[in-house]
Structure 1
């Protein structure tokens, strides 16, 4: 190929993408295409424009953060049909980490619905079962043995993401039974990893599509009873639930409209959840898994699980944009009753 000399005028004459390819290569072409793309309004009036806005911000933030992403984000139309704004590597099997705690909770609540266990039945917190990490509260307790209810275990599992709560759930739903419950509901890749002790397991794998489907079926009332569905969503929407990612840049009342669960380990930074419209209908569902080489120093990133990590920071920016993108629209999907946040000062 002969050498090509291009000035600014000839670049625009060739067309942005073609010219950028000639000058910068394919990566430069992607950047030029993004730069040339018209900015979608912050709060569109239609679901179609909302999807375009979400896709635009997702591209921008994931490219900035780098890493490998597997994601599925949908926005519901007024008639209830859900369509993807982002569908990237959504069928790739990934390490779920604590995002799979939603699946664990579904299995526990499935047994509650069938009358095999009760939320108020107790399990024993022994010194041997406590994982001595800094996540959650059981490792901070120091008072063993003690008794807590299955409901207490689930609340800690899904809010402060307590890892000892995983073991407590395993006392009532052993690993093999848990996997079978999930398979029976169609989740063949959302599986925990059994170990020698039948009541313990690693949190295992999923795909962005399966986690998204689990959340979709949950809000559609296809996974659990109405009571268990409301119970699970109430925990995930609580102000005590994860705030560093999608919810970081939202106000308290806005956070109450987002049910979310994050998961992290090693280089993985994941989050999945549901955004509700002003009239409490599931309007946007996201399932986002990221790992690999992110921007910045890898050694620092691998030990950073907070909002300063590039992938978590990207989710925080995306979370604000997703919320704003659907703030003017609604859907005919079922309503879900939300608890009102009440302020107390002890007493």
Structure 2
């Protein structure tokens, strides 16, 4: 460094003395300095190069560390971004699967709603058909029952009029429904059956019984007939009344000193009165039972209509 300073001082001195000499002196001086500095040039350059390399190395190492830190931060950011993308992709996939499941479930629910709607329509039609058929059967049964009841009532009135027209005097007037004088005299009352549905055969049976009794007892009454004049002979003490299949049978018993009694006779009027009472009771019971059946059928129809309305309302709520 001292050589360089000396060279600078000498160069300035020569340049201040003469301008032309300045140029020649400077060139010659430069050559002289370069020649003298040639052997010392290589170690100086090496030293400067080493210093520059050290400084460059320090700067490079600091820059390298800075770049490594930036790279590390970028890598962390990139990894976080990739993880976020993966989570987002997984979330999108889950959402897609959920959407597919919801679509499938909606399709199943729509199919179920359509199936339930068709079933409800079929059930409604079947209920309507059942209600119509039940109403038709009810009307037909009411008509048949009304016609049968009317015919039975007309037959009953004819049977009630027949003893009055055929008999004479008191026997015809005593034939009446309910607790008639003949029933009071014999102690017979019309039997009361428990409430049940009565068939036509059961209603027809008393009339057939009356017809058979009329055919069996067509002969004129004998002297021991209870409704003839002086019906009980003087040697008869009391009248015994027995019942056979709901009809009274009249027997006259003699006293101890009386002759043997005649064979027992069937009282035609008693049989007819008992049969008419039984027919009247059966017809009344049948009329009451028909009214009860009509009321029960009306209640069942009303309940069926209410059930159908409730099912329709429930289906409408499910569709909404």
Place the TM-score, normalised by the shorter chain, in its bin.
under 0.3
Higher strand share: 1
* Larger RCO (alpha carbons 8 Å, 6+ apart): 1
Question: In terms of Rg, which structure is larger?
Answer: 2
Higher helix share: 2
TM-score (norm 2): 0.23
